[in-house]
Amino acid sequence: MAESDPERLKLTPEQRRFLGGPRSANPQPPTEQQSPRQEPVSKTKSAAPPVSSQSTETSAPAEHRTSRRVRKLKFSNVFEMQYLALLLGGIVLLGATFYVGKKFEYWHYLIVTRNEAKIAAQATGDFAGASAEELVEHAVMDERLGQWDQAAKRLIAAKYKNISMGGVLFHAAKLYYDHSEFDAADRLLESSIGFGENVDAANYLRGMIASSRNDFPAAERFFEAAINAAPFNADYYYSLGETLRKDHKPKDAIARYEQAARRGVESEQPICYFKARMAALEAGDVDPVSSELEQKRKLGPLSIDWQMTDAAIAIQQGDTARAIKLIEDGREADRPQLDARFAACVGDRFFSAASQNNQELAQACRVNQ
């Protein structure tokens, strides 16, 4: 039996496959051979910390939120203080800038005027012992004697001795202006404006000087300043309109002429409106002027300013022969104030420009014949 056991245990491969493979000599239940399977821990249970741990973690974020809130409040307070400081600084700076800006011109003109007064005093050597009032009195006498240059120097010195004395610089500047000493007049007018003396008239004269130099932008600024200082003076609007036309701005000039007409005396209004019509023709607005002219014809004989308007339209349309006849008829007409109105109309820059290329037209536009 013992010898036959090995014989009996030998199995062929087919038998092994049939019997299901080899078996263990020490079989155990399948549950004992495998390690016990661990049940998955519930996420809810594992996520839930003990009570003591949860209270600690809850209190920590609350402290962080409190500290963050405190830091935000501190930052907000600092930012507000900086903003307030910047705002106050800006207001102070703006006020200082305004104050310095207002005073700068005064200081500038004060220095310039004092230098001119010192130069005048040193040049004559006769003003050292005279008071400002005495200098003004002597200046009045010098002016009556025709010694306008000496009078102007005395007035400048009087201003240097008594800055509160008003009008003397402007009067000195006017003396130089009336005698065509425009450089000296312009400097004194600038000083006069700086001291607040005759601001409107001083700006007007500076505008006239700038216009004579063909510095039209400067002239326009000065006339605008004169208008701002005295908005009811017709001459300032009229001169601004003339300068705008010279500066090739006829449409802007129309409104200025009309403003001058509304502010001027009745005898000056026709010329102001005539100038406005000439500016309209220069701007190319012929039809409105022609329509208004036809309306005037229906009302009766034309005034001299409308006759000259008719001549200007003829020139604009290229009918120079008709324009010359109208101008000659206007010269021969017997009307009150004809000479002044005719001279003002025919002396307009519209006819001056047209006469440059036509000798017959230039002859007809001559005032003295």
pLDDT at 279 > cutoff 50: yes
d(CA 247, CA 256): 14
Q: Check residues 6 and 217 and name the one with the higher pLDDT.
A: 217
Least Cα distance to 196 among 163, 151, 153, 174 occurs for 163
Q: What pLDDT is attached to residue 130?
A: 84
> In percent, how much of the chain has pLDDT > 90?
55
Q: What pLDDT is attached to residue 44?
A: 43
pLDDT at 343 > cutoff 60: yes
d(CA 188, CA 177): 10
With a CB cutoff of 8 Å and minimum separation 6, the contacts of 283 are 250, 251, 254
Mean pLDDT of the chain: 81
pLDDT band at 274 (very low <50, low <70, confident <90, very high): very high
Q: Check residues 138 and 336 and name the one with the higher pLDDT.
A: 138
> In percent, how much of the chain has pLDDT > 70?
68
Helix and strand element counts for the chain (H, E)? 20, 0
Q: What pLDDT is attached to residue 91?
A: 85
Q: What pLDDT is attached to residue 332?
A: 77
pLDDT band at 341 (very low <50, low <70, confident <90, very high): confident
pLDDT at 21 > cutoff 90: no
Q: What pLDDT is attached to residue 172?
A: 96
Q: What pLDDT is attached to residue 218?
A: 97
Model confidence pLDDT, tens digit, residues 75-129:
566 667 777 788 888 788 877 766 666 555 556 555 655 555 555 545 445 677 8
Any idea where the domains of the chain sit in the sequence?
A: 99-197, 284-369
Cα torsion angle, 246, 249, 254, 256, sign: negative
Mean pLDDT of 252-256: 97
Q: What pLDDT is attached to residue 135?
A: 93
Q: What pLDDT is attached to residue 127?
A: 78
Mean pLDDT of 148-168: 91
CATH 1.25.40 describes domain 99-197: yes
d(CA 178, CA 195): 21
Q: What is the pTM of this model?
A: 0.67
Mean pLDDT of 264-279: 95
Q: What pLDDT is attached to residue 357?
A: 86
Point out the least confidently predicted range of 47-56, 291-300, 320-329.
47-56
CA distances from 23 to 17, 75, 122, 170 (A): 12, 81, 142, 137
pLDDT at 252 > cutoff 50: yes
